[in-house]
Structure 1
Amino acid sequence: MGTRSLTRVIPVDGNEVLDIDSLKNAKEKDISKHAEKFYIALAKYVKSHTMDGSPKGSLINLYRQYDGHMYGHGLDLADFLKDLKVVNGISSKLKATDKIANGAECLSAQLVSHFKKEAGGFYLMKFKDEVGAYAEEYIYNIYVVSFTLSATNTKFLIHVSVNDVYKDERDPNKYTFYSDVSHFLDDAKGGLKKMSSTF
């Protein structure tokens, strides 16, 4: 058997994570003032979600049977997410060539369509509340964080966490959190370079 992985897409209400009623009429600089508090809260959310294995609102549970490691599925996933913009409603100002997803649900559908091209290889699985239930070695969580600024203005951030299932809980590299897709892509490419240098 190859290296197996699970990929999940988890919508997160940023207003709720920040424990504030509303960010209405806030400017982007106002959101950035809350960044430290937000990332601490999100890191706790991510760790809790990853450690207990339960989906906590994930829209999909995509199982990949082979090449689930960072320099395989991680790199493929990072390439898919690269330059992707999540929006709330499709504006007429957008170009046909713009790489967008209309919310986390649209991103989930696009992700499945992107990877599932033929029989076998990829499967949509039931959620189980146990890490390793599908003998997965990696779990990739895509967090689509929304901030509602007004009735017509929602901003989105994409974050990724990777759980190396078989690493010991005390290993600092067991859980990796990426606040930016470009850092995730760099790490995945770095893994590919490391693998290439061993041949």
Structure 2
Amino acid sequence: MATTATVTITNNGKPLVKLLKTADGYLSSAGVELANFTASARFVNGLTGDENVFNGMGCFAAQLIAHLKTKAGLWYVADLDTDYGDDYTYTINGGIDKNYKPTPVTMTMTTLDSRTFSGSPEEFITYLSTAK
């Protein structure tokens, strides 16, 4: 049986898009890929001329899909309201505060066997290096 995962991208806690990975959803595959990509650029509100940025969570979601979806299968855009009974559930949340500044991005992970994590992408990378 395949190890599935869902990834929900949220903007200030409001779901934008959910992705479904139909295999290899475990920490050492999907978890590492998500953490590394999320930590690979700076989150901004407004383009600065720097190409290595995510201009808000919508831009991040679009860039993540472009990064993950290299061929047919494996990754799918999924229905936000459906519970897929996945083995791993990842949530990536960020947004813009009342002063129009990007809020810190957090990654949350839960598993069917009740393991949990919540913290920054960099903290998640550290967690992944010690997780079994």
Q: TM-score, normalised by structure 1?
A: 0.61
1:163 has 2:92 as partner = no
Which runs of at least 4 in structure 1 moved beyond 6 Å after TM superposition? none
Match of 2:37 in 1: 80
Equivalent residue runs for 1:88-103 within 5 Å: 88-92=45-49, 94=50, 96=51, 99-103=52-56
Match of 1:134 in 2: 84
Q: Highest CA radius of gyration, 1 or 2? A: 1
Q: Quick one: distance in 2 between partners of 1:65 and 1:3?
A: 7
Q: TM-score, normalised by structure 2?
A: 0.89
Match of 1:176 in 2: 117
Q: Which has the higher helix share?
A: 1
Alpha-carbon RMSD: 1.7
1:102 maps to a residue whose letter is N
Q: How many residues align?
A: 132
> What is the percentage of aligned positions where both structures have the same residue?
23
Q: Which has the higher strand share?
A: 2
Q: Quick one: distance in 2 between partners of 1:156 and 1:128?
A: 25
Contact 1:75–1:189 (CA<8 Å) still a contact in 2? no
Contact 2:56–2:102 (CA<8 Å) still a contact in 1? no
Match of 1:6 in 2: 6
Q: Quick one: distance in 2 between partners of 1:148 and 1:83?
A: 25
Cα deviation digits, residues 17-68 of structure 1 (max 9, x gap)? xxxxxxxxxxxxxxxxxxxxxxxxxxxxxxxxxxxxxxx6211110001111
Contact 2:7–2:18 (CA<8 Å) still a contact in 1? yes
Q: Quick one: distance in 2 between partners of 1:88 and 1:156?
A: 10
Match of 2:27 in 1: 70
Contact 2:43–2:55 (CA<8 Å) still a contact in 1? yes
